[in-house]
Amino acid sequence: ASLTNSKRIAAYNAVDNHLDASTKIIGIGSGSTVVYVIERILQRGNLKKVENNENNKNLMGLDVNSCVFIPTSFQSRQLIVDNGLNLGDVDQYPAIDITIDGADEVDENLNVIKGGGGCHLREKVVAEISKKFIIVADHTKKSKVLGEKWTQGIPIEVIPFCYVLVSSSLIKLGCHNQILRMAKAKAGPVITDNGNFIIDAHFGHLNGTNTPKEILKRIKLLTGVVEVVLVFSFNLTKETKIELNRNLLVW
């Protein structure tokens, strides 16, 4: 399948297999894959009553007008607003039924690199308060080990005041290249929705002593680091289910 097509197939699978009439509060991730998640919700979500057959069984009565959508970035907020969907925020809705998001790379233990879009802080917050969290990733994201396919470094959100300190601390952790993410259509660095910088830190393949869990811990403890996403280290509530549903991951 072409790249767009495989992202679309994966996104459509996620919506068709996981949204149903009981889904009222829906977290929307950020990036290009979630555009297809919204596309599918709009296509299917206005069906008041769907014939109860194999394709539609999970979409019985999904009525988007009775749902509230929680954004994880300015971009996903725009997706919600521009498509006329009800917008909510994490203060009003501290418990979310399901969040559907993308990723930059996924290994077979569901370790994930997120942050390619620079939205991973809010994505992680929304994921943590979701009962179910679905990562939609097509075959281009599949790796045996993190760092194999995603070669742009681990995205780390840092406080602008101390990005130089964080950079030098990363070197001590064995990082062999750390790059302040520069904007393309604006002079200077990328500024996140939270007003911070992003450092992309290159550790090579995350295995051996540099497992995703180990690297996550070491990076998170650095002064000036705001957030990094590597393993599903979210403080998952007891109900939160992480589903590595193979047919959602179009390998």
**Long-range residue pairs from 2-8, CB within 8 A, at least 24 positions apart, any chain:** 3/138, 3/140, 6/138, 6/139, 6/140, 6/250, 7/32, 7/33, 7/36, 7/136, 7/138, 8/36, 8/39
Nearest distance from residue 41's CB to ligand DER, in Å?
A: 16
At residue 217, φ and ψ (nearest 5 deg) are: -60, -45
Nearest distance from residue 116's CB to ligand DER, in Å?
A: 3
In the residue annotation, 148 being an active-site residue is answered as no
Nearest distance from residue 58's CB to ligand DER, in Å?
A: 22
Using the minimum distance from each CB to ligand DER, give the nearer residue, 101 or 200.
101
Cα(77)–Cα(73) distance, integer angstroms: 6
Cα(70)–Cα(87) distance, integer angstroms: 6
Cα(26)–Cα(24) distance, integer angstroms: 6
232 within 8 A of 123, measured Cβ to Cβ: no
CB-based contacts of 141, cutoff 8 Å, min separation 6 = 103, 104, 105, 106, 149, 150, 249
Using the minimum distance from each CB to ligand DER, give the nearer residue, 116 or 212.
116
- Look at the alpha carbons of 102, 103, 104, 110 in this order and tell me if their dihedral is positive or negative: negative
Using the minimum distance from each CB to ligand DER, give the nearer residue, 124 or 218.
124
Using the minimum distance from each CB to ligand DER, give the nearer residue, 26 or 103.
103
218 within 8 A of 106, measured Cβ to Cβ: no
Nearest distance from residue 18's CB to ligand DER, in Å?
A: 17
Using the minimum distance from each CB to ligand DER, give the nearer residue, 133 or 168.
133
Catalytic residue among 54, 108, 123, 243: 123
Which residues contribute to the site for ligand DER (CB under 6 A)? 29-33, 101-104, 114-117, 119-120, 123
**Long-range residue pairs from 89-92, CB within 8 A, at least 24 positions apart, any chain:** 90/125, 90/126, 90/129, 92/68
Using the minimum distance from each CB to ligand DER, give the nearer residue, 11 or 64.
11
Cα(214)–Cα(101) distance, integer angstroms: 24
Nearest distance from residue 13's CB to ligand DER, in Å?
A: 14
Nearest distance from residue 141's CB to ligand DER, in Å?
A: 7
Catalytic positions are 123
